[in-house]
């Protein structure tokens, strides 16, 4: 069999697979994937794919965005609430498996998904009305983008937060370059590079959530919020604070990273990822060794992109960060680590990605420059 025939056959099978996945990504199943309801004077968005931990796809983005804009301009709607169905996850991330399948065969989904997701992230950040994300469960990647830029983010003991993208050859996108460098000290950089997971009350202590409320109180909280008459942001804040004050669970436990904060600030203060790795190895403590080991498993290209992304993002506005991140998303689609990371972690699940280049030293400044370069007329615009 000739190579051409093999390539054509492979391309055909990739296309068939993509059509299936596109169908899944753009699906209109019997059960709506997003519920958009008006309850009292509140617009309520429910992410409704519990079987896949409420993973976000393009169809859902295309439903949420226009509704958000409509409610923002509707005099009868005074606040917005977003939550996840099923009790396990708020939203465990974007449906990136479909995005990589699209990227392999040059399908436009690889551009459309990131572009429209980032436009939605920006709309949440710019929303003029109180926007309350009830992040009661797993909240990662794309789920962070649906919540963290809103005015209010309510964590519960079931919340599990992470930006684990460096492990799959991506970077903490959806505005990670904006909110992560604004967390205290070097905490954001630490979370971005290592993908460290925060749970429950620690999500609020880190500054990712604004409030902590026990999971069993969330239905009552939601009812009280939708019953508010002409609420200002301050009115919403008072309700959230009153529920937080009734939630004593884990309040006596210190922040999980408290005893490591001075180490994080010291070890992650360097002008490069190589410098951070050097600091960690030289330190030799159990904590430092663990972080060095974690970083050694991540995509070297992703680590370098993420370091520069947060460095730049520290002084940019959210829209400017999202323009930068869209350029980076397309650089990842042009590269190979994102495909390899998704294969190793999500498809074959062998957890043994073969990164290329395989060391930090081999990732050139020129490569970095290309990743951050303008896409000209293909740049993200709002």
- Domain ranges for the chain, please list them: 34-378
Q: What does pTM read for this prediction?
A: 0.92
CB atoms within 10 A of CB 154: 28
DSSP code at position 258: G
Q: How many CA atoms lie within 13 A of 180 on its CB side?
A: 33
**Is 315:232 a contact under the CB 8 Å cutoff?**
no
- In this structure, the chain runs to a length of 382
**Quick one: average pLDDT of 94-113?**
95
Contacts of 272 (CB under 8 A, 6+ apart): 307
For domain 34-378, the CATH architecture is Alpha-Beta Complex (3.90)
Residue 300 has pLDDT above 80, yes or no: yes
Residue 269 has pLDDT above 90, yes or no: yes
- Looking at the annotation, which residues are catalytic? 94, 142, 165, 173
**Quick one: average pLDDT of 62-76?**
97
- What pLDDT is attached to residue 30? 77
Spatial separation of the C-alpha atoms in residues 220 and 223, rounded to whole Å: 5
Give the 3-state secondary structure of residue 311: helix
Q: Are strands 138-140 and 89-91 parallel, antiparallel or unpaired?
A: parallel
What mean pLDDT, rounded, does the chain reach? Answer: 94
When mean pLDDT is compared across 14-18, 75-79, 84-88, 338-342, the lowest value belongs to 14-18
If phi > 0 it is left, if psi is from -120 to 50 it is alpha, else beta; for residue 40 that is left
Helix axes 3-25, 109-126, angle to 10 degrees: 30
**Quick one: average pLDDT of 277-293?**
98
**Quick one: average pLDDT of 62-89?**
97
């Amino acid at each position: 069999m000739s190579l051409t025939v093999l390539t054509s056959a492979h391309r055909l099978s990739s296309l068939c697979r993509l059509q299936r996945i596109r169908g899944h990504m753009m699906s209109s199943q019997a059960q709506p994937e997003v519920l958009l309801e008006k309850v009292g004077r509140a617009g309520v968005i429910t992410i409704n794919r519990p079987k896949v931990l409420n993973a976000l796809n393009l169809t859902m983005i295309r439903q949420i965005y226009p509704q958000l804009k409509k409610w923002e301009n509707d005099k009868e709607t005074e606040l917005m609430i977003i939550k996840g169905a099923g009790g396990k996850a708020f939203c465990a991330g974007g449906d990136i498996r479909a995005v990589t399948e699209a990227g392999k065969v040059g399908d436009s989904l690889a551009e459309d998904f990131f572009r429209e997701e980032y436009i939605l992230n920006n709309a949440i950040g710019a929303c003029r009305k109180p926007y309350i994300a009830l992040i009661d469960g797993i909240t990662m990647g794309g789920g962070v983008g649906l919540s963290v830029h809103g005015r209010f983010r309510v964590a519960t003991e079931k919340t599990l937060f992470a930006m684990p993208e460096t492990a799959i050859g991506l970077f903490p996108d959806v505005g990670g370059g904006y909110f992560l460098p604004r967390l205290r000290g070097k905490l954001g950089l630490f979370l971005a590079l290592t993908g460290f997971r925060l749970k429950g009350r620690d999500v609020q202590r880190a500054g990712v959530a604004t409030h902590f409320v026990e999971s069993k109180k969330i239905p009552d909280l939601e009812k009280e919020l939708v019953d508010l008459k002409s609420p200002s942001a301050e009115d919403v804040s008072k309700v959230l604070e009153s529920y937080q004050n009734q939630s004593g669970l884990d309040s006596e436990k210190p922040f999980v990273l408290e005893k490591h904060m001075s180490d994080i600030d010291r070890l992650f203060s360097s002008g490069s990822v190589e410098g951070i790795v050097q600091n960690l190895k030289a330190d030799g403590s159990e904590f430092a060794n663990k972080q060095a080991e974690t970083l050694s498993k991540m995509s070297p290209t992703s680590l370098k992109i993420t370091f520069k992304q947060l460095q730049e993002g520290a002084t940019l506005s959210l829209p400017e960060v999202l323009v930068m991140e869209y350029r980076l998303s397309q650089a990842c689609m042009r590269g190979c680590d994102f495909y390899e990371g998704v294969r190793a972690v999500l498809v074959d699940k062998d957890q043994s990605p073969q990164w290329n280049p395989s060391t930090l030293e081999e990732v050139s400044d020129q490569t970095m420059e290309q990743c951050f370069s303008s896409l000209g007329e293909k740049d993200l615009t709002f």
